[in-house]
Each structure stands twice: as C-alpha cells, then as structure tokens.
Structure 1
Amino acid sequence: MEQVHAAGQSKLPSAILEKKRKMIQLGMKYGLADKRTVNCSQELDDLLNKFTDDLSGSK
C-alpha cells in the first residue's frame, strides 16, 4: 500500500511510513498486545485517517 493514485500523490507521506516501521519494531520487541505497540498503532491510524481525509477533501 505504498502507492496512492489520488491528488497527484505517488507515495504515502514519510511520517506514515516512519510510524509504520516504528510500530513493527515495537511489535517484534514487545509483542502485539503491548501498550506501546497498541499506542503506536493508534497513532498510525490517526495519521492514515488524516491522510485519507486530505485526499478526499474532508475536514
């Protein structure tokens, strides 16, 4: 899911990719149910929702 074809975007913003990498690292180190991993996952969800809203023109 690295490519997006809307609004002239060719790749997801670097903040989203960085958060995804961090979440994977936390999950591998502490487990998927660990509070740190879950919090990071929720932050990633927020970034993805904002990105989707920006693409669709929602506020």
Structure 2
Amino acid sequence: MIETVMLSCPYCGETYETVVDGSAGNQAYIEDCAVCCQPIECRLTVTADGVYLETRRDDD
C-alpha cells in the first residue's frame, strides 16, 4: 500500500508531500527534509484505517 502523506519537518517547519510504503507494516527510518536537508526520524504506523507518520528530530 503506497500512499502520499504530508510530512512536517521538525527542523525548518516546512510541510511537504512524501510517499510511504506501508506494505511492510510498521517501520522506523530516516528521511532527509526536502527543503533543508536535515535528517528526520520517521515512524510509520500501519492500521486498518490507513497509515500514520510521526516525525521528530534525529538529534533528540
């Protein structure tokens, strides 16, 4: 299940679209911000209702 979600960068505050693949279930990964290039720690949770993306700074 590939979906487009909105990601809000915890460094620069910009929001942009990104594509996630929920077919592998819950995941944790690092994605660089498309605006400021800082590393964002992403946690993807897959439920029956859809996918949820939680983001936080990599240095927290």
- What TM-score comes out, normalization by structure 2 length? 0.25
Q: Would you tell me which structure has more strand in proportion to its own residues?
A: 2
